[in-house]
Structure 1
Amino acid sequence: MTEEVYFIGVDVGSGSVRAALVDNKGHVLKASVKEIQTWRPQTDYYEQSSKDIWECCVTVIKSVVTNTNPASIRGIGFDATCSLVALDKGGNPISVGTNNNDQNIIMWMDHRAGAEADLINKTNHDILKYVGGKVSLEMEMPKLLWLKKHLPNKWKDFGYFFDLPDFLTWKATGSTSRSLCSLVCKWNYECSLEGKQGWNTSFLSDIGLEDLATNNFEKIGNKVLMPGEFCGGLTVEVANSLGLKPGTPVATSIIDAHAGGLGMIGTCGQGIDKDMSSRLGLICGTSTCHMAVNKNPVQVQGVWGPYYSAMVPSMWLNEAGQSASGMLLEHIISSHPAGIELLKTMTSGDIRSHLRNQLSDMAKQAGYNDVSLLTKDVHVWPDFHGNRSPLADPSMRGMISGLSINNSLANLSVLYLATLQALSYGTRHIIDALVLSGYQPFKSMLICGGITKDPLFVQIQADAVGLPILKPHEKDSVLVGSAILGACASQYFSNVQEAIEKMGGTADVIRPNLGTKAYHDKKYAVFLKMFQDQLKYKTIMGSNI
């Protein structure tokens, strides 16, 4: 009789916690989801609660292991958004702005630390070359500096700062170890081309955070492990709360987008090159992350990285992205009069299906063989929440050309389509930057995440970029990625690469419609002109009003 072998993947996204029971072939057998709470105390501020998130983790894990032999659960992997968790010296939540200590997380998409990011970038410290030349206000050092500057009386009370993925492994095991993935990607932890690894004390001193070096960097971590490395076993208390065995191996964590990349990168598609460096991974949710790996380090202006072993061991990662993708599509729908009416009776997914049907009907009526042609006179620049890559400019804002006095469903449908196209041209813009800086032209893209449930979004990405897309048959690539880490921590596989190959699965291949290439080339030219025009507007208006 074949022995049952399972792994648990836990994913903390922007709006929910998910857990999955995954077998040794990467198949999700059972999944559970629970929404988490987010506070918005003011514009561009986003806060969450580590207490709320951990309670949700316990709930969803218990749900997926019900009626499963605890002995068959070989390992657990956690991923989460790259959000900043603050704890006091006793390990309890401490607020990051309000008097409510439950609100102790500054979310990844919180943009309060713009001035602090500017201050850090003005140092021109050498370590900034590993973040495309500019630290992002979404990263942790600007947020830590914000806390020190704006909450000076509370600064001394902070005992520990964790990236959210590392907080989860600490709660599960009691280990204060940190993941190289989180630290090198979001904390300006040094992992240099020359092989140097550690906190850069001159950088911390230059930006006014030299006190974080106290007690061997106790507040921000002094034991750093590779993603998937064993970081500890479940404590007795946690194991009992989950219905699992104490000591069940827990893997060193990974950021959620990187988990998606890990879960997809070994996917096989008919006629598609398996070379990891020939593939660009897109993890599309609230935001979109674009993941590229290379055997050699490539520095790309405006793109984060190169990060050594941050996703795939012994490979260099470049991470680009769009700060608002799914969030932008929701905004386009919810802010349009026709969308407001639809939301009264339909879910978001039903609305998108309704819009696709509307677009199909409109294209037929116009005599077009492709719906994309409907946006000839409507163009969108999608940076409603700033530009992450490749401009690395959080002050960029969204633009729409072609508005009219029209609040019909047809008008919303075309605007929605133009926004899908804009996000796809953003991917093309990122690819151009990567190739210009030294990447070989990509041969395919991999795609996962919530908004990829819209087949029109996936097809337009392929058409706009001109590359085939692999969409994994296993829909929850992020959860598979976390489960891969759990498998590695249990030593069921000999290394991460083997786990990727054995659990990567297969994919559908969505090929570009070459008949629309000339049209998308023209639209892309307009897209590039729009950001150049926005920069001109800023110059005309100047900085002093």
Structure 2
Amino acid sequence: MRGNLAIGIDYGTESGRVLIVDVRDGRVLGSHVTAYPHGVMDDTLPGGGTRLGTNWALQHPDDYIEVLRRSVPEALRMSGASAEDVIGIGIDFTACTMLPVDAFDIPLCFKDEWRDRPNAWVKLWKHHAAQEDADRLNEIAVSRGESFLSRYGGSLSSEWMLPKISQTLREDPDVYEAADRFVEAADWVVAQMTGTLRRSSCAAGYKGNWHKAEGYPSRDFLKAADPRLETLAETKLRGEVVASGTKSGELTGEMARLIGLKPGIPVAAAIIDAHAAVPGAGIVAPGTMVLAMGTSLCHMIIADTEQPVEGIRGIVEDGIIPGYYGYEAGQPAVGDLFAWFVEHAVPAYVREEADREGISVFEWLGRGASRLAPAESGLLALDWWNGNRSVLASESLSGLIVGYTLHTKPEEVYRALLEATAFGTRRIVGAFEESGIRVDAIAANGGIPQRNPLLMQIYADVTGKKVYIPAAEQATALGSAMMGAVAATAAGGGYDSIAEAAAVMAPPVKKTYEPIERNVRLYEELYREYVALHDYFGRGASGVMRSLRKLKERAAGGAADA
């Protein structure tokens, strides 16, 4: 190889990370993180003028370029290597994180006439204000018997491309008309680097309802949703769709100068952040479920065949590893759920005691929770603080804790929340196994699995599966670097396939959690009660959670009118 470095760029919810990786052995030589200057905008637009409604989550597109400006040169400096050694660049991103652009791929929110219009900004993956649109699209698709729904568990999510576009059209048709295209932020960043906008098959397939053989949903379906949407696919969703890991273009001279690299470096088509963790963990064959665990949790597995799975959030041919069908399910609140508890529900004395001992609140809670046996807290929780993605596919559901008494302690609540996310994962594993997709083991990636051994042991005990923790803490960025190494093949370097790159660059297993038999038995009983609550509140026996959400929205709307 003429050079030996690949760059992996991981765009998360709050920040972006750049990794410099030696393609000869997968060693990380440099790493740097840039927090998004504008963060997640869920209250007002920049400048504090225009207020946002309930369940909005927006971002500023320049924050993504700031990651390139700051972190690429700094990570390269930390690696001690030369820009001449970089042979390829790969990018992973949250999805569906989308924005409207003009005919020159300039975000509408950059323009004075649109900067005060919320729908002109980036809608982050966890923007849920399009639920009304998702519900309506689902009703139309079901009534028409649309076959594409079977690849998405029978429903579209408000987090996805079509509902978010529909919301824009419904709320601000002027923005819709002004948009030349709606694009994934991942594809926009690659376009800024290469000068050409192409769409990643990963994001298009999982979040845009694109199919390798059929394309996007039909004109008839889109017209039934709204006559103005009839030509959406060939107009505002137009663009070549390319597979992740393939070369999307080459680094332009302008961008090379901005970020301290050489022009002409191959840039791979983007991949969804969670999906990059699959090759990043060395998983390139069926049987192992990969958990990409952060603020949310994405469950991915590859299989030889396409099978319907309850609550699946996407089945895409070649969507993760070429030659296999890639399956995705998920839970929309894991790290976010734990953070909510620490930030908003922990009493002052916990913070005081943690400060006195010089440890974090998470450490304090974890220490107390680890002293408890399964079921000892007397609590049981549903993990729906940000809705349910799989298997119920409803953002209208909300969290629940049963079993509070006057003696309940914070560490008991914390353990119940840890267990709730594990129960949610077990329900997803069960859906796969009921459909004939085998799940032999689990590989967990991200900072949480590295830092929280109690949580990982709970996952092993609740699921009854071995849980592997890869040595690479940043498996998503490493997977993106692998994509960059594969894209470099066209320029005479890199690897011919993702499997070939993973065989050399994937990390070893750092730790394995084996199920503890006594805990497995106790959790079996507790899980039965979880399923009873799951089905009662989630499958229609009680609609109280959805009713509360509607009442909240009506009350908030009334307050705004007043």
State the partner residue of 1:52: 63
User: What stretches of structure 2 of length at least 5 have no aligned partner?
Assistant: 44-52, 552-562
- Contact 1:48 1:106 (C-alpha < 8 Å) held by counterparts: yes
**TM-score where L is the length of structure 1:** 0.89
Distance in 2 between residues matched to 1:348 and 1:421, nearest whole Å: 27
* Equivalent position SS for 2:351: helix
Look up the match of 1:439.
437
8 Å Cα contact 2:94/2:272 also seen in 1? yes
> Residues 342, 484 of structure 1: CA spacing in aligned structure 2 closer, same or farther, 3 A cutoff?
same
Deviates more, 1:199-208 or 1:491-500: 199-208
Q: Report what 1:203 is aligned to.
A: 221
SS in 2 for 1:74: strand
Partner-residue secondary structure (3-state), 1:490: helix
Cα deviation, residue 57, structure 1: 2.4
Q: CA deviation at 1:135?
A: 0.4
- Partner of 2:281 in structure 1? 264
Q: Equivalent residue for 1:148?
A: 169
* Pairwise CA distance, 1:340: 8.1
Residues 461-487 of structure 1, C-alpha deviations (whole Å, 9 max, x = no match): 111101101110111100111001000
Say which SS state the counterpart of residue 10 (structure 2) adopts.
strand
C-alpha deviation, 1:303, in angstroms = 0.9
Aligned residues with identical type, % of pairs:
26
Separation of aligned partners in 1, 2:471 and 2:29: 13
Distance across 2 between alignment mates of 1:137 and 1:102: 15
Q: Are residues 470 and 145 of structure 1, via their aligned partners in 2, closer, same or farther at CA, if it must alter by over 3 Å?
A: same
Residue number among 468, 471, 480 corresponding to 1:470 in the alignment: 468
Q: Is the 8 A contact 2:3 2:87 kept in 1?
A: no
Instruction: For residue 495 of structure 2, give the secondary structure of its aligned residue in structure 1.
Output: coil
Contact 1:77 1:252 survives alignment (8 Å): yes
Structure 1 residue 405 displacement after superposition? 3.5
**Which of 236, 248, 251 is 2:253 aligned to?**
236
- Structure 2 counterpart of 1:394, one-letter code: E
Matches within 5 A, 1:183-332: 183-191=204-212, 195-197=213-215, 200-208=218-226, 211=229, 213=231, 217-266=234-283, 276-332=285-341
CA drift at 1:199: 5.8
Partner-residue secondary structure (3-state), 2:89: strand
Residue in 2 that maps onto 1:76? 89
Number of the residue aligned with 1:425: 423
Matched, 1:34 2:34: yes
- Residue 50 of structure 2 aligns with which residue? none
Contact 2:11/2:92 (<8 A) preserved: yes
Per mean C-alpha deviation after superposition, the further-off stretch among 484-493 and 345-354 is 345-354
Offset, 1:206: 2.9
Deviation per CA, 1:489-524: give whole Å up to 9, x if none.
001111122112221221122211122111000110
Number of the residue aligned with 1:389: 390
Pairing of 1:476-487 with structure 2 (within 5 A) = 476-487=474-485
Tell me by how many angstroms 1:351 deviates.
1.9
Given that 1:51 and 1:93 are in contact with CA atoms closer than 8 Å, whether structure 2 keeps it comes out as: no
Residues 539 and 179 (structure 1), Cα distance of their counterparts in 2 relative to 1, 3 Å cut: same
Instruction: Tell me how far 1:346 sits from its aligned partner.
Output: 9.5
Deviations 1:438-463 (A, max 9, x none): 213x1110101132121111111111
C-alpha offsets along residues 234-255 of structure 1, whole Å, 9 cap, x if unaligned? 0000001111110101001101
Tell me the residue number matched to 1:359.
369
Query: What is the deviation of 1:91?
Result: 2.5
Letter in 2 for 1:16: S
Instruction: Give the equivalent residue in structure 1 for 2:10.
Output: 11
SS class of match (1:33):
strand
- Which of the residues 519, 524, 548 maps onto 1:521? 524
Secondary structure at 1:217 match in 2? coil
Which residue in 2 is equivalent to 1:160?
Answer: 181
| C-alpha distance after superposition, 1:175-209 (max 9, x if no partner) | 11111001010001123xxx444563333323227
In the alignment, is the contact (CA less than 8 A) between 2:460 and 2:513 conserved in 1?
yes
Q: Distance in 2 between matches of 1:415 and 1:540?
A: 21
Structure 2 residue matching 1:135: 3-state secondary structure: coil
Query: SS of the counterpart of 2:496?
Result: coil
d(CA) in 1 for partners of 2:17, 2:547: 46
Q: What is the Cα deviation at residue 139 of structure 1?
A: 0.6
* More off after superposition, 142-151 vs 444-453: 444-453
SS in 2 for 1:291: strand
Deviation at 1:341, TM superposition (A): 5.3
Deviation of 1:540 (Å): 11
**What corresponds to 1:368 in structure 2?**
none
For 2:242 and 2:126, the matched residues in 1 are separated by: 26
C-alpha contact (below 8 Å) 2:223/2:230 kept by paired residues = no
Change in Cα spacing, 1:389 to 1:265, as seen in structure 2 (3 Å) is farther
Count of matched residue pairs: 519
Give the Cα–Cα distance (whole angstroms) in 2 for the partners of residues 137 and 348 of structure 1: 42
Cα distance in 2 for partners of 1:88, 1:11 equals 26
Is 1:137 the counterpart of 2:158? The answer is yes
Q: Distance in 2 between matches of 1:212 and 1:450?
A: 43
Asked whether the 8 Å contact 1:260–1:481 carries over to 2, the reply is yes
Q: Deviation per CA, 1:395-451: give whole Å up to 9, x if none.
A: 211110111345xxx7111111111111001111001111112213x1110101132
Q: C-alpha separation between the residues in 1 aligned to 2:389 and 2:545?
A: 24
Mind listing any 5+ residue stretches in structure 1 that lack a counterpart?
267-274, 364-370
Report the counterpart of residue 271 of structure 1 in structure 2: none
Q: Deviations over 1:70-115 (max 9, x none)?
A: 1210100011101112223333222499606897210111110111
Q: Would you say the 8 A contact 1:47–1:103 is kept in 2?
A: no
Q: Is the Cα contact below 8 Å between 2:485 and 2:495 reproduced in 1?
A: yes
Q: 1: CA distance between counterparts of 2:265 and 2:387?
A: 42
CA drift of 1:347 comes to 13
Distance 1:444 1:252, change over 3 A: same
Q: How far 1:43 sits from its partner (Å)?
A: 2.7
> Alignment partner of 1:372: what SS?
coil
**1:201-225: per-residue Cα shift (whole Å, max 9, x none)?**
33332322764736x8343232011
SS at match of 1:92: coil
The residue number in structure 1 matching 2:345 is: 336
TM-score, normalised on structure 2?
Answer: 0.87
Letter aligned with residue 74 of structure 1: I
SS at match of 1:290: strand
The alignment status of 1:63 with 2:63, answered yes or no, reads no
RMSD of aligned C-alpha atoms? 2.6
Secondary structure, aligned partner of 1:485 = helix
Q: Residue 490 of structure 1 corresponds to which residue in structure 2? A: 488
2:6 partner letter: F
Alignment partners' CA distance in 2, 1:541 and 1:91: 39
The answer to whether the Cα contact below 8 Å between 1:386 and 1:395 also exists between their aligned partners in 2 is yes
